[in-house]
Amino acid sequence: MRKHILCLGDSNTHGYCADPSDCADGGIRFNENERWTCLLQKKLGSNYLVTEEGLSGRTTVFQDPLHESMDALSVAYPLLKSHEFIDLLVIMLGTNDTKERFNANAAAIAVGMERLINKAKSVDCWQTEKKNILIVCPPQIKEGFNDPVMGEGCIEKSRQLAPYLKDVALRNGCYFVDAEGCEFNKIDFMHLSRKGHSQLAKLLVPIISEIV
């Protein structure tokens, strides 16, 4: 049986492309030869099954007053059960949690991640006794970002997030990696470029190979 890796995230897991000239198909989503989840599958090989569960706008626990069902916590049970059995859950969330309308600082966002971790562990979807969870801190939102809908303070909160997420991951027996350094586009400064997707897959392969 192949080792099943479920990648839970937001638009950067879904593969949103803010710069159509950076995408081979010229659309708003990177294709199967470009998305980090698909590249991860190719690099890991046939002994693994990598499944992507990305939703643009997704948060850890914060319910969005503008869009329904955006928080991972409230859908965690059906989502994880629909993908059972899982050997490794990769969670890359936190960018959308920095939105001004949620009024949450980096420490509070990390507490949200902790709630999500505990919920995921409680679902009977695991292939083995050990519940392997890898927390990926998203790359920091870059200077040049200007999204009035996301609001103020996003850059600062995203810069402060990594140490809080690392502490939560280690305290809860999870694995952790910071994806800072994976390239963002120069359009909105918060979504991975094609190169950034490739860099993230390359970063994760040796880590995941060690875990499962």
Q: How far apart are CA 13 and CA 129, in angstroms?
A: 27
Q: How confident is the model at residue 1 (pLDDT cuts 50, 70, 90)?
A: confident
Cα 88 to chain centroid, rounded = 13
> For the whole model, what pTM was predicted?
0.98
Q: Which helix (H) or strand (E) holds 74?
A: helix 72-82
| pLDDT for residue 16 is more than 90 | yes
Tally the domains of the chain: 1
Count Cβ atoms below 10 Å from residue 67 Cβ, excluding itself.
11
149 Cβ contact list (under 8 Å, min separation 6): none
Per the listing, tokens 């790359």 go with 139
Q: How far apart are CA 47 and CA 57, in angstroms?
A: 31
Greatest C-alpha distance within the chain: 47
Give the CATH number of the domain where residue 186 resides.
3.40.50.1110
Mean pLDDT estimate for the chain:
97
| pLDDT for residue 6 is more than 90 | yes
Q: How far apart are CA 44 and CA 88, in angstroms?
A: 13
Residue 42: the pLDDT is 98
Mean pLDDT of 5-25: 97
Q: How far apart are CA 166 and CA 156, in angstroms?
A: 17
Q: How far apart are CA 148 and CA 85, in angstroms?
A: 40
Q: How confident is the model at residue 168 (pLDDT cuts 50, 70, 90)?
A: very high
Mean pLDDT of 7-11: 98
Identify the domain containing residue 127 by its residue range.
3-211
CB 79 within 8 A of CB 58: no
The string of pLDDT tens digits covering residues 51-84 is 999 999 999 999 999 999 999 999 999 999 999 9
Residue 171: the pLDDT is 97
The string of pLDDT tens digits covering residues 93-120 is 999 999 999 999 999 999 999 999 999 9
Mean pLDDT of 127-137: 96
